[in-house]
Amino acid sequence: MKFNTKTIHGGQENTDPAYGSVMPPIYQTSTYKQTTPGGHKGFEYSRSGNPTRTALENALASIENGKYGLAFGSGLAAIDAVIKLFKPGDEIISTSDLYGGSYRLFTKIFENLGIKFHFIGMHDAARIEDHINENTRLIWVETPTNPMMNIIDIAAVSKIAKKHDLLLAVDNTFATAYLQQPLDLGADIVMHSATKYLGGHSDVVLGSLVVNDQKLAEKLYFIQNASGAVCGPMDSFLVLRGIKTLHIRMQRHCENGAAIAKFLKSHPKVDKVYWPGFEDHPNHEIAKEQMKGFGGMISFTTSDGTLKSAVKVVENLKVFTLAESLGGVESLAGHPASMTHASIPQEERAKTGVVDSLIRLSVGIEDEEDLINDLKQALG
Ligand SMILES: *Cc1c(COP(=O)(O)O)cnc(C)c1O
């Protein structure tokens, strides 16, 4: 099956043996009748497994070209499950420019439990080796990075991970499986905040992991069940429905993203525009190679470089909604320094370019002209 067919049919054989409903039923149940102790039809208790969640997990595995999918109550719950593979004394190397909530989870929860994190810029993959020692277990990569749109060469990082016998996990939330498939590039774990593009309609919070290795899948399933941060059947259904239009939504996100990035670049009140589709983007060549398009996420700074002007622009927007999150059909604007990345200390933020005048756009699938006119009036 090719990708567009997979978004609709992947892993969906026989999801309703009872009546053959085309969409899998929402099995809103906590438990399942047994005919004799232990005699059940594959499901015992909905933390351990629920048929609607299984349908979603199979779809997730299919679109990521993986064997095993696992769905969680949020993206952070999925990341939490990955880090629980490790023990005190273990070390993890992570991209420095990453989602604020991931940074908070790593530094405020797992560092207290004895896991050590190194945050480094990975656009030069060779720098990773300087931080590897006998305690290193995992490399955590986010690409494109949030919010600076750096691109990390997944295949190059994977070579380093394999050479040192480390796991490589990729947060694929921004690109989605439509634009890039990290398992094919050598990653061991691909993670999503399905809250974003996979769900696609800003109506659900959910997270996922996909892996190929059976032993790793068993360990993660053990954690999913033992820690219990699972998603409910209704939420599983919503993401499953979202995935069915992922390919056509992503196409339009990419088209609108390109138009808006070019518009911003030519605007006198805009200083820098961060979007991997520009030829002068420092990682443009890698983006072209590992991604099918450049996506709908764009960051830019105002030309006077002040907090005040950035705040004014986001307040003036009318079609773009000022809100956290991304990846929905509607366009959103955010101010990372005071919103998504407020949990990262200012000095750390500044090092990666998250300055006070930075605005992040999640370009939706509305008419391009309306979006550009909105930015025009807000910047004016
Ligand atoms: C939103 C997001 C997360 C966290 O996911 P939740 O579903 O909000 O818990 C992780 N990584 C990235 C890149 C995100 O955008």
**Structure confidence at residue 340 (pLDDT):** 79
Catalytic annotation, residues: 47, 99, 171, 196
For ligand 1, pick from 149, 196, 343 the residue to mutate: most ligand atoms within 8 Å of CB: 196
Number of CB atoms found within 10 A of residue 82's CB = 23
Task: Name the band, by pLDDT with cuts 50, 70 and 90, for residue 316.
Answer: very high
The pLDDT tens digits for 112-141 are 999 999 999 997 888 899 999 999 999 999
Q: What is the structure's pLDDT at 36? A: 94
Query: For 246-285, what is each residue's pLDDT tens digit?
Result: 999 999 999 999 999 999 999 999 999 999 999 999 999 9
Contact 183, 158 (CB under 8 A): no
Mean pLDDT of all residues belonging to the chain? 96
Q: Is the CB of 294 under 6 A from ligand 1?
A: no
- Report helix, strand or coil for 95: strand
pTM greater than 0.85 (yes/no)? yes
The pLDDT value recorded for residue 128 is 96
Confidence of residue 100 (pLDDT cuts 50, 70, 90): confident
Number of neighbours of residue 119 by Cβ within 10 angstroms: 21
The CATH fold assigned to 3-243 is Aspartate Aminotransferase; domain 2 (3.40.640)
Question: Is ligand 1 within 6 A of the CB of residue 102?
Answer: yes
| Mean pLDDT in residue range 84-98 | 95
b/e code 148-171 from CB counts within 10 Å (16+ = b): bbbbbbbebbbebbeeeebbbbbb
Residues of the chain with CATH 3.40.640.10: 3-243
C-alpha to C-alpha distance for 237 and 69, rounded to whole angstroms: 15
Give span(s): CATH 3.90.1150.10, the chain.
Answer: 246-379
- Please choose from 60, 99, 151, 174 the residue to mutate so as to test ligand 1's pocket, defined by most ligand atoms within 8 A of CB: 99
Minimum CA distance residue for ligand 1 atom 5:
75
Backbone angles phi, psi at 349, to 5 degrees: -60, -45
Label residue 14 by pLDDT band (50, 70, 90). confident
Confidence of residue 216 (pLDDT cuts 50, 70, 90): very high
Mean pLDDT of 237-244: 98
Which pLDDT belongs to residue 210?
98
pLDDT of 15 reads 82
- Alpha-carbon distance values, 257 to 58, 86, 181, 327, 330 (Å): 30, 38, 20, 12, 13
Q: Is the pLDDT of residue 344 over 80?
A: no
Cα–Cα distance between 94 and 91 in angstroms, integer? Answer: 10
Spatial separation of the C-alpha atoms in residues 8 and 241, rounded to whole Å: 9
Query: Which pair of tokens denotes residue 155?
Result: 């295949």
| pLDDT at res. 352 | 80
CATH topology of domain 246-379: Aspartate Aminotransferase, domain 1 (3.90.1150)
Question: Rounded mean pLDDT of 99-103?
Answer: 91
Beta carbon of 207 within 6 Å of any ligand 1 atom: yes
Angle at 196 (CA atoms; ends 211, 167), nearest 5 degrees: 25
Tell me the per-residue pLDDT of 41-74, one tens digit each, with 9 for 90 and over: 999 999 999 999 999 999 999 999 999 999 999 9
